Amino acid sequence: MDVIDAWDGRKACVLQQAFRMTQEAFADHLGVSVRTVGKWHAEPGAEPLPHMQQILDTAYEKAAASVRQRFHLLLRPAPSAMSAQALRVAIAIVTRGDEVLLVCRRGSDSLTWQFPAGVVKPGATPAMVAVAETHTETGVRCTVRERLGSRIHPITGVIAEYHACEYLMGEAANLDPLENADVAWVPISALPRFIPTDSIYPPILEALA
């Protein structure tokens, strides 16, 4: 019999599915409240308390072989989920002397100044995308100097990968007029006039200081 090293909300819900029970029936089977089972559904990443881990262990160990087999089949991610890639965006902070390169994005109802960026597709690396998208959008060729880090973007929710880049050659021009309204070299000292400082990833500010 396979041993479950630790239960979380998701595994508990999968066990419920394996038993083919409603939340009410599963709660009754475990001897817990329906509210507890509901919490597992609402917070799949949360770990139950130790005594609840033991209750789930007991329910799993006493389950019929068919239930345990179904549990492990359901627990396995679907093929599409295994091959899917979380949406990542590579962002280039390109500097030339005391200037930084910005693009003015067209939104649904507004324009915003941002650093050049592009979606990282399967098979590509963020550094490659940062360089390629900068050239595609602006005509500027650059090279990655260092990776500044990554975060879940506070506005878009995507994984944002940031790279400090050095200018190599090329005149800045708006080569993607459908997505951008303008492209400009901006004095680093004037950056807060274009992008609010509190929305800029802190390592970017450190790299530009």
pLDDT at 108: 67
CB-CB neighbours of 32 under 10 Å: 17
pLDDT at 15: 93
pLDDT at 19: 92
DSSP-assigned letter for residue 187? E
Q: Which CATH class is domain 88-208?
A: alpha beta
What residues does each domain of the chain span?
A: 9-82, 88-208
Give the pair of three-digit tokens for residue 187: 């004095």
pLDDT at 173: 95
pTM attached to this predicted model:
0.59
* Per-residue model confidence as pLDDT tens for the chain (209 residues): 577 888 999 899 999 999 999 989 999 999 999 889 888 988 888 888 899 999 999 999 999 999 988 888 888 765 444 444 568 899 999 999 999 999 999 876 788 999 999 999 888 899 999 999 999 999 999 999 999 999 888 777 788 999 999 999 999 999 999 889 999 999 999 999 999 998 899 999 999 98
* Residue 13: closest CA among 55, 66, 56, 50: 56
Burial tier of 85 (Cβ tally within 10 Å: 0-12, 13-18, 19+): exposed
pLDDT at 45: 85
Burial tier of 79 (Cβ tally within 10 Å: 0-12, 13-18, 19+): exposed
Estimate to the nearest angstrom the gap between the alpha carbon of 161 and the chain centroid.
10
pLDDT at 83: 42
pLDDT at 2: 72
CA angle 77, 80, 85 (to 5 degrees): 95
